[in-house]
């Protein structure tokens, strides 16, 4: 049997008292899609950051096709054929698609080879259905297209192993299909892929094998994800069966928060247009949407971080006037932000 494309042996990494990874072993073969599954905080990103050279492990070793390697930086990782698409993209928004691809790649005689770049971009587009307009600035791309560009960038730099950290979190369901067919196509051509997720249906649909992390340790290995039940995988991931919480009855009272025709300008990210909603005492209001479609702006307005350009907001019947975090807190609103650190 040929040596695996990538092998991690006994990797441990702690941050102070937190053991983010403890004696983790995993390997990926050529042509294989490996799922890395675990709840939030299980250590998935840390493990991949070790593989990509962002952190030095406290213990353990990494082998590429059977040879031990030292990976101290993303440049080392790329030289070893490892590419990573992070949860937050690393793109230059004002530069074009092609410019983003060519940054840092010296062409013949040190000049950037634009024609060669265009040819390669078209080739990758044909091979895997990852088409992009080379001249568009990144700021004009949808989130899904930016992700496509990150994948193409890794292929451009010669990645033979591609790591994707929760790539579907930012995609609409229809875009997920496109991503999966591109990943299958890359694997069919011999690339190794590590797909990080905590969504069991995705892991079962896409991956050939998966490794489950919990509290930094491997708690399960699944050799046939497609024929393993979600509840079995959930047990490996959480340590117990998942019982969906029962929804109690609700007899809502008066509105505690109202938004009336709130609009914002496009500032950083998506603008809000004419958003109205209310939350009544005793009820839980869900807001559904794919990341990048205004949730952040909405949270910023509600928590007083950003003032809207138009519209009104009331908390417990009182009109919010200044939109400062101090004002909304004084009116009784608390916020838990999406980033925990």
Ligand X SMILES: Nc1ncnc2c1ncn2[C@@H]1O[C@H](COP(=O)(O)OP(=O)(O)O)[C@@H](O)[C@H]1O
Interface residue list for ligand X (CB under 6 A): 15, 18, 20, 38, 40-46
Shortest CB 45 distance to ligand X, Å: 3
Helix (H) or strand (E) holding 162: strand 161-165
Closer by beta carbon to Mg ion, 20 or else 270 = 20
Quickly count: other Cβ atoms within 10 Å of residue 178's Cβ.
14
Looking only at the bridges linking them, the beta strands covering 217-222 and 67-69 are unpaired
38 binds, among ligand X, Mg ion, none (CB under 5 to 8 A by kind): ligand X
Strand residue runs (E) in 16-107: 18-28, 33-37, 59-64, 67-69, 82-85
Shortest CB 33 distance to ligand X, Å: 18
Nearest to 189 by CA among 236, 126, 273, 128: 128
40 binds, among Mg ion, ligand X, none (CB under 5 to 8 A by kind): ligand X
219 binds, among ligand X, Mg ion, none (CB under 5 to 8 A by kind): none
Length of the chain: 341
Closer by beta carbon to Mg ion, 45 or else 168 = 45
Closer by beta carbon to ligand X, 43 or else 192 = 43
Shortest CB 34 distance to ligand X, Å: 15
Closer by beta carbon to ligand X, 322 or else 340 = 340
Shortest CB 119 distance to Mg ion, Å: 35
41 binds, among Mg ion, ligand X, none (CB under 5 to 8 A by kind): ligand X
Shortest CB 26 distance to Mg ion, Å: 16
Closer by beta carbon to Mg ion, 45 or else 264 = 45
Contact between 192 and 29 (Cβ < 8 Å): yes
**CA-to-CA separations, 267 to 78, 141, 254, 294, 340, in angstroms, rounded:** 34, 16, 33, 11, 23
Helix (H) or strand (E) holding 193: strand 192-197
Shortest CB 237 distance to ligand X, Å: 10
Q: What would you measure as the largest C-alpha separation in the chain, in angstroms?
A: 73
Nearest to 187 by CA among 168, 211, 162: 162
Interface ranges with Mg ion (CB under 5 A): 45
Contact between 289 and 310 (Cβ < 8 Å): no
207 binds, among Mg ion, ligand X, none (CB under 5 to 8 A by kind): none
Closer by beta carbon to ligand X, 223 or else 339 = 339
């Amino acid at each position: 049997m040929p040596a695996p494309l990538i092998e991690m042996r006994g990797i441990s990494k702690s941050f102070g008292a937190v053991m983010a990874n403890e004696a983790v072993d995993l390997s990926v073969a050529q042509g294989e899609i490996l799922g890395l599954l675990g709840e939030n905080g299980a250590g998935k990103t840390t493990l991949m950051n070790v593989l990509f050279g962002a952190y030095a492990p406290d213990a353990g070793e990494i082998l590429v096709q059977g040879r031990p390697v030292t990976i101290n930086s993303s440049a080392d990782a790329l030289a070893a054929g490892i590419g990573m698409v992070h949860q937050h993209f690393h793109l230059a928004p004002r530069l074009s698609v092609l410019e983003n691809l060519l940054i840092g790649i010296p062409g013949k005689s040190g000049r950037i080879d634009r024609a060669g770049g265009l040819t390669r971009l078209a080739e990758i587009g044909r091979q895997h259905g990852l088409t992009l307009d080379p001249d568009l600035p990144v700021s004009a791309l949808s989130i899904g297209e930016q992700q496509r560009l990150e994948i193409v960038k890794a292929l451009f730099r010669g990645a033979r192993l591609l790591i994707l950290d929760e790539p579907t979190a930012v995609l609409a369901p229809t875009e997920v299909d496109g991503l999966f067919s591109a990943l299958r196509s890359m694997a069919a051509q011999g690339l190794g892929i590590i797909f990080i997720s905590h969504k069991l249906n995705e892991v079962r649909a896409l991956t050939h094998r998966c490794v489950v992390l919990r509290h930094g340790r491997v708690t399960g290995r699944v050799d046939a994800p497609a024929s393993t039940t979600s509840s079995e995988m959930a047990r490996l991931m959480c340590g117990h069966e998942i019982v969906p919480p029962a929804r109690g009855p609700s007899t809502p009272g008066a509105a505690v928060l109202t938004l009336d025709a709130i609009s914002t300008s496009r500032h950083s990210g998506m603008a809000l247009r004419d958003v109205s909603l209310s939350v009544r005492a005793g009820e839980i209001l869900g807001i559904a949407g794919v990341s990048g479609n205004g949730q952040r702006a909405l949270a910023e307005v509600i928590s007083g971080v950003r003032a809207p350009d138009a519209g009104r907001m009331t908390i417990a019947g009182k009109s919010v006037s200044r939109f400062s975090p101090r004002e909304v807190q004084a009116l009784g609103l608390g916020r838990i932000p999406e980033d925990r650190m």
